[in-house]
C-alpha cells in the first residue's frame, strides 16, 4: 500500500528545488525506467501496477506493487504507464564510450521549454553527439517533463550544466551557431568536430555567447518571397543541423 510519505516525496520532485534537496528525480514507463536501470542509474524506489512488465531482471531495489489509482496519484502523466521509478541524480555526468575520433557536441543557450530540451537529448542520442553543454538557465534535464521527452535517451548522453561563455572562450574546436544572419548551412564546409550552439526559443543565442561563435549558420526556408514562419522550433532546427553535419561525415 502506498504511504502518504511516499506520495508526498514523489509529487515534491516536480519542483527543481526539491529535486536538488533530495538529489532524486522521477522517470515513468517501462522503456524509460528500463533504459535508466540498464545504464546504471541507481534506483531509490520503484512502483508498478500488478501485471506490469519491467524488462530487466535485477532492478537493484524492491519493486512495490500499487493499484492503478495509486499510480495515477503518483504520476505526472495524463495516462500513467504501468511503472514509475525514483532515481538518484548521478554525482557526475554519464560518459559516452570514446570512439577515438572527432567529437561533435551541442551547447544549449537558455533553451527553456522542457519538451524541447528532452527532444534535443533524444536527437543527440540518435546522431551520436558526444555531449550536451547547458547554460544554467536551460530547463533542468531531470524535471519529469524533460525525462519523459527523452524517451530513455537521458541514459545515453552526457549532459553538463556549465557557464557557456567560459566553455566557449577556451574552445579549441570550431564553434557553430544557428543565426538568422548566418550563412546557408547547405553551402558551408562543416567539420567533423566542433560545438553547435542552439539558442533560446524566443531570443536565439544570447548576446554574451554570440561573439564566441566562429562559424554562423542559417537553415534557409524554401519559400522565398512568400509569407512563411519566422523561425523553426529549436528542437527541429537541432535535428536538421545534426543531420547535415552527420551527412557530410
223 shares a domain with 175: yes
151 shares a domain with 72: no
Total domains in the fold of the chain:
2
C-alpha to C-alpha distance for 135 and 208, rounded to whole angstroms:
12
pLDDT at 196: 98
Question: In this structure, are residues 37 and 56 in contact, taking their beta carbons and an 8 Å threshold?
Answer: yes
79 shares a domain with 34: yes
3-state secondary structure 107-146: EEECCCCHHHHHHHHHHHHHCCCCCEEECCCCCCCCCHHH
Domain that holds residue 240: 104-248
Q: Say if 95 falls within a structural domain.
A: no
Question: In this structure, are residues 128 and 116 in contact, taking their beta carbons and an 8 Å threshold?
Answer: no
173 shares a domain with 76: no
119 shares a domain with 242: yes
pLDDT at 222: 81
pLDDT at 101: 57
Here the CATH number for the domain that contains residue 150 is 3.40.1280.10
pLDDT at 61: 81
Task: List pLDDT tens digits, range 221-231.
Answer: 887 666 677 77
Task: List pLDDT tens digits, range 53-83.
Answer: 786 766 778 889 999 999 999 999 999 999 9
71 shares a domain with 122: no
C-alpha to C-alpha distance for 38 and 71, rounded to whole angstroms:
23
pLDDT at 249: 67
C-alpha to C-alpha distance for 103 and 241, rounded to whole angstroms:
15
Q: Say if 96 falls within a structural domain.
A: no
244 shares a domain with 125: yes
141 shares a domain with 236: yes
pLDDT at 133: 97
Q: Say if 98 falls within a structural domain.
A: no
Grid cell 534506483 is found at 43
Here the CATH number for the domain that contains residue 38 is 3.30.1330.30
Q: Per-10-residue mean pLDDT for the chain, 249 residues long?
A: 94 97 96 92 93 74 91 95 94 64 89 97 96 97 96 93 96 94 94 95 95 96 72 94 90
Please state the pTM of the whole predicted model: 0.91
Amino acid at each position: 500500500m502506498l504511504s502518504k510519505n511516499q506520495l508526498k516525496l514523489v509529487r515534491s520532485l516536480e519542483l527543481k528545488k526539491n529535486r536538488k534537496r533530495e538529489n532524486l528525480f522521477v522517470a515513468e514507463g517501462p522503456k524509460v525506467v528500463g533504459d535508466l536501470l540498464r545504464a546504471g542509474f541507481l534506483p531509490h524506489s520503484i512502483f508498478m501496477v500488478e501485471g506490469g512488465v519491467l524488462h530487466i531482471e535485477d532492478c537493484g531495489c524492491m519493486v512495490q506493487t500499487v493499484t492503478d489509482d495509486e499510480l495515477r496519484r503518483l504520476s505526472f502523466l495524463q495516462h500513467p504507464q504501468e511503472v514509475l521509478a525514483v532515481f538518484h541524480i548521478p554525482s557526475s555526468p554519464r560518459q559516452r564510450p570514446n570512439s577515438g575520433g572527432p567529437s561533435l557536441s551541442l551547447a544549449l543557450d537558455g533553451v527553456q521549454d522542457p519538451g524541447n530540451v528532452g527532444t534535443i537529448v533524444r536527437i543527440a542520442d540518435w546522431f551520436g553527439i558526444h555531449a550536451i553543454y547547458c547554460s544554467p538557465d536551460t530547463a533542468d534535464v531531470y524535471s519529469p517533463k524533460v525525462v519523459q521527452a527523452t524517451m530513455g535517451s537521458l541514459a545515453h548522453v552526457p549532459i553538463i550544466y556549465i557557464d557557456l561563455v567560459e566553455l566557449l572562450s577556451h574552445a579549441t574546436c570550431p564553434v557553430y551557431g544557428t543565426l538568422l544572419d548566418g550563412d546557408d548551412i547547405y553551402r558551408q564546409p562543416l567539420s567533423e568536430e566542433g560545438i553547435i550552439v542552439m539558442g533560446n526559443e524566443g531570443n536565439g543565442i544570447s548576446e554574451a555567447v554570440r561573439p564566441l561563435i566562429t562559424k554562423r549558420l542559417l537553415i534557409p526556408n524554401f519559400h522565398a518571397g512568400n509569407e512563411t514562419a519566422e523561425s523553426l522550433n529549436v528542437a527541429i532546427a537541432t535535428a536538421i543541423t545534426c543531420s547535415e553535419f552527420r551527412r557530410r561525415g
